[in-house]
Amino acid sequence: MSLTGFVEFFQKGKTFRPKKRINEGTLRYSLYKQAQASLNSGINLRDTVKLPPGEELNDWIAVHVVDFFNRINLIYGTVCEFCDSKSCPTMSGGSRYEYLWADGATYKKPTALPAYQYISLLMDWIEERINDESYFPVSSDVPFPKTFGPLCKKILTRLFRVFVHVYIHHFDRIIAISAEAHVNTCYKHFYYFATEFNLIEPKELEPLVEMTKRLCKDIDYSKDPGPRIR
């Protein structure tokens, strides 16, 4: 399933948030095009996430964080009309997992919210940060801040929770529109990337561990972890 096919399929429906674009002519844009070409060529997903020789890890991660934000927005856009305070009164993944929202500003303490509200606040929170050049510098001459690594871990951890909610509570809708293969491919790409660079703690991955084992059958649990973002 190519990236082009994924985007074309989901853009036929509702987009939950406007797409964040990477500026043409920048180093990060060339990295984005390189990653996109690898996905479209049918290369094994585990290989596409590896850091290209000679490239900076932070640039590679920045490109993928923006790309995953865009694609998970597209996925959630297909189910958001079925996700309201009545159907999903909490941001959960089944009965065992519930996620509380805190942003240090409006919600200073972890707060239980309906799933749609949690995800809306989450997407706003991510969008604000990826558009802020003090977090995601556009020019290669400007260094990434020391907070970049922890911020990307937090972004991807929270985006994973959207996968959890969609898979556990709305996958019937995904199947109904014949999007299962597209969503599974996006999830596998996300999972391989996050685990390649140790961007999500194992305990956060637990809600989908059984499904992951079925989808990602080539995982080698004895493999040494890849490079860690600082």
Known binding residues for Zn(2+): 83, 88, 165, 170
CA atoms within 13 A on the CB side of 206: 8
Residue 92 β-bridge partners: 98
Question: H or E segment at 154?
Answer: helix 148-169
Query: Cβ of 162: how many Cβ atoms within 10 Å?
Result: 23
Known binding residues: 83, 88, 165, 170
Cα angle at 124 between 25 and 20, to 5 degrees?
20
d(CA 130, CA 52): 22
CB 204 within 8 A of CB 194: no
